Amino acid sequence: MTLSEQEPITTPPPPGPSDTPVLGRLLQDLASEMNLLGHGFAAASGLHATDVQALLAVMRAAPGPAGGPGGITPGRLGEELALSSGAVTAVLDRLERAGHVRRTRDAADRRQVLVHYLPGAGRMAAEWFAPVARRTEAVRGEFTAAELAAVARFLGRMTGELEELRRSR
């Protein structure tokens, strides 16, 4: 069966105020697909799913002062991923061996170790997720700026609430 012969994927109608279960299911479906894409990237890259989560956390780490290289400490990484220090060490060892990250001493405090991602790791992820970005842009083009602002506000608030819930547990 060719793509043109397949039935089109239909988008469910937008949920109304009384459709909380529909919205919840849509969020679960989105999270599941994102998770499966992450697992696919992990498998294609020879990594564990936890390694990918760690790599994403390292990549998200804020730049240092004056736009410097930034980085994340292993302790902070462990907090973000809810991993023991031993598990963080194992993850970082795998990521370092695979050429995705490097550990350095903080120039301001030599006792502190910082983890940085290497440019090759970003290129590999960018290549893998480029189709996701293209599809995101295609879908984004179907919405007005006001609709996108509402979606962004909703997703940002949901992410914040879920992060707060996870940390409180």
Q: Going by DSSP bridges, is the β-strand pair 113-117/101-105 parallel, antiparallel, or unpaired?
A: antiparallel
Domain ranges, ordered by start, for the chain: 42-117
Query: Which of the following CATH numbers is that of domain 42-117: 3.40.980.10, 1.10.10.10, 3.30.1180.20, 3.30.390.10?
Result: 1.10.10.10
Give the model confidence (pLDDT) of 55-93 as tens digits.
889 988 856 555 555 789 999 999 999 999 999 999 999
Give the model confidence (pLDDT) of 98-142 as tens digits.
888 999 987 778 888 999 988 777 787 888 889 999 999 999 999
Tell me the whole-structure pTM to 2 decimals: 0.69
Residue 45 is predicted with a pLDDT of 83
C-alpha–C-alpha distance, residues 111 and 52, integer Å: 27
**First vs last C-alpha separation in the chain:** 48
Q: Report phi then psi at 104, rounded to 5.
A: -135, 160
Q: Is the pLDDT of residue 3 over 50?
A: no
DSSP bridge pairs for 104: 114
C-alpha–C-alpha distance, residues 138 and 153, integer Å: 20
